[in-house]
A = this chain, B = another copy of it.
Amino acid sequence: MLIDSLIKKIQKTAPIVVGLDPRLSQVPDFIKNEIFAARGNTPEAAADIFFAFNKGIIDEIHELIPAVKPQIAMYEQYGTAGLACYAKTIAYARGKGLVVIGDIKRGDIAGTAEAYSTAHIGQLEINGSKVEQAAADFITVNPYMGFDSIEPYLADCRAYDRGLFVLVKTSNKGSADIQDELLQNGKPLYQHVGELVSKWGEPFIGEMGYSAIGAVVGATHPEQAAELRKLMPHTFFLVPGYGAQGGTGKDLQGLWSKDTYGAVVNSSRGITGAFQSGKFTANEREYALAARQAVLEMKNDLGVCI
User: Which residues of A are in contact with B by a Cβ distance under 8 Å?
Assistant: 21, 23-24, 36, 40-43, 45-46, 71, 73-74, 76-81, 83-84, 87, 105-113, 115-116, 118-119, 124, 126-129, 131, 133, 142-149, 151, 167, 170, 172-179, 181-184, 186, 189, 192-193, 196
Q: Check B127 against A79 for contact (C-beta < 8 Å).
A: no
Contact of A146 among B36, B43, B149, B174 (CB under 8 A): B174
> Contacts of A23 on B, CB cut-off 8 Å?
111
Q: Check B41 against A126 for contact (C-beta < 8 Å).
A: yes
Contact of A148 among B79, B108, B174 (CB under 8 A): B174
Contact of A145 among B84, B106, B116, B174 (CB under 8 A): B174
Q: Check A115 against B76 for contact (C-beta < 8 Å).
A: yes
Q: Check B192 against A41 for contact (C-beta < 8 Å).
A: no
Instruction: Report how far A192 CA is from B105 CA in the complex, Å.
Output: 22
Instruction: Report how far A118 CA is from B170 CA in the complex, Å.
Output: 23
> Contacts of A131 on B, CB cut-off 8 Å?
41-43, 79
> Contacts of A79 on B, CB cut-off 8 Å?
83, 87, 119, 124, 131, 133
> Contacts of A196 on B, CB cut-off 8 Å?
177-178
